[in-house]
């Protein structure tokens, strides 16, 4: 992840804190928790400009799912031997691993990872308690939108049929992620390529027949 993208989401505690903490992170990796949201927002036409206006706030149900994803990522980072874990939640301090080395023996550090880390478990409990209250103020982003022109077996079920042809404009075909019947919940590239290939082959067959 490019540094300026992820560091812009770091909880803000002041300019000096940001500069010093960013300068310390010479070797860091970032991960995101993907949530297939259950609840929706709304889109309406602005009465003054005529442009679409989008209103969306993650529901309590979807925020709880996001928090579970963050906790799981923290466990993965801890199991991988991360020295510091920053969940990027407001009011949550990072976890700093206390590494016990003896005689500069790296094996001792590996052994310490296998022992239950009570301090880490206590920190996770704190993340859950504080995060359930502050996650609504954390950065959320949306990507890989799917299903806005979904496939359906009849016009009341979707915008296009099983071959990507629009029900209301039979010369129009749609061949991208918008025809997914529902959001896949993960990056949709392979599925998107397969569906686009399927629809394109169908169009080619109709063109070959002169339709």
> What's the pTM?
0.75
Report the distance separating Cα 127 and Cα 80, nearest Å: 19
168 and 190 inside one domain: yes
107 and 166 inside one domain: no
- pLDDT tens digits along 84-106: 999 999 999 999 998 766 565 55
Report the distance separating Cα 24 and Cα 101, nearest Å: 22
Three-state secondary structure string covering 163-180: CCEECCCCCCECCCHHHC
* Domain containing residue 53: 3-137
- pLDDT tens digits along 50-80: 999 999 888 999 999 999 999 999 999 999 9
Q: Which of 101, 122, 137 is the last residue of a domain?
A: 137
Residue 24 has a pLDDT of: 82
Instruction: Provide the pLDDT confidence category of residue 110 given band limits of 50, 70 and 90.
Output: low
Report the distance separating Cα 59 and Cα 61, nearest Å: 5
Closest to 142 in 3D by CA, of 10, 51, 68, 41? 41
Residue 205 has a pLDDT of: 93
Residue 111 has a pLDDT of: 52
Closest to 87 in 3D by CA, of 14, 193, 9? 9
User: Where in the sequence numbering do the catalytic residues fall?
Assistant: 144
74 and 155 inside one domain: no
Instruction: Provide the pLDDT confidence category of residue 139 given band limits of 50, 70 and 90.
Output: confident
Residue 98 has a pLDDT of: 85
31 and 64 inside one domain: yes
Q: How many domains, in total, are found in the chain?
A: 2
Is the model more confident about 122 or about 57?
A: 122
Q: Which of 84, 109, 137 is the last residue of a domain?
A: 137
Lowest mean pLDDT among 70-84, 107-121, 150-164, 193-207: 107-121
Cα three-residue angle 18-24-27, rounded to 5 degrees: 120
Report the distance separating Cα 94 and Cα 87, nearest Å: 7
Report the distance separating Cα 172 and Cα 184, nearest Å: 24
Q: Which of 110, 137, 164 is the last residue of a domain?
A: 137
Q: 128 pLDDT exceeds 70?
A: yes
Average pLDDT of 174-178?
A: 95
Tokens of 162: 């099983």
Instruction: Provide the pLDDT confidence category of residue 185 given band limits of 50, 70 and 90.
Output: confident
Dihedral angle over CA of 58, 59, 62, 63, nearest 10 = 70
What is the residue whose two structure tokens read 């009570």? 118
Average pLDDT of 11-22?
A: 88
Residue 38 has a pLDDT of: 87
């Amino acid at each position: 992840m490019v540094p300026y993208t992820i560091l812009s989401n770091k909880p803000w505690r002041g300019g000096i804190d940001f500069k010093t903490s960013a300068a310390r992170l010479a070797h860091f990796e970032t991960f995101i928790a993907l949530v297939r949201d259950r609840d929706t927002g709304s889109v309406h036409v602005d009465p003054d400009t005529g442009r679409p206006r989008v209103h969306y706030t993650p529901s309590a149900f979807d925020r709880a799912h996001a928090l579970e994803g963050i906790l799981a990522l923290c466990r993965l980072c801890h199991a991988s031997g991360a020295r510091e874990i920053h969940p990027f939640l407001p009011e949550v301090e990072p976890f700093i691993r206390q590494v016990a080395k003896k005689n500069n023996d790296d094996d001792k550090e590996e052994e310490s990872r296998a022992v239950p880390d009570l301090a880490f478990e206590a920190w996770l409990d704190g993340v859950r308690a504080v995060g359930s209250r502050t996650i609504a103020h954390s950065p959320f982003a949306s990507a890989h939108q799917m299903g806005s022109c979904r496939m359906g077996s009849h016009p009341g079920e979707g915008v296009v049929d099983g071959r990507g042809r629009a029900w209301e404009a039979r010369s129009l075909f749609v061949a991208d992620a918008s025809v997914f019947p529902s959001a896949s919940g993960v990056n949709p590239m392979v599925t998107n390529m397969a569906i686009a290939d399927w629809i394109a082959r169908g169009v080619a067959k109709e063109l070959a027949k002169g339709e």
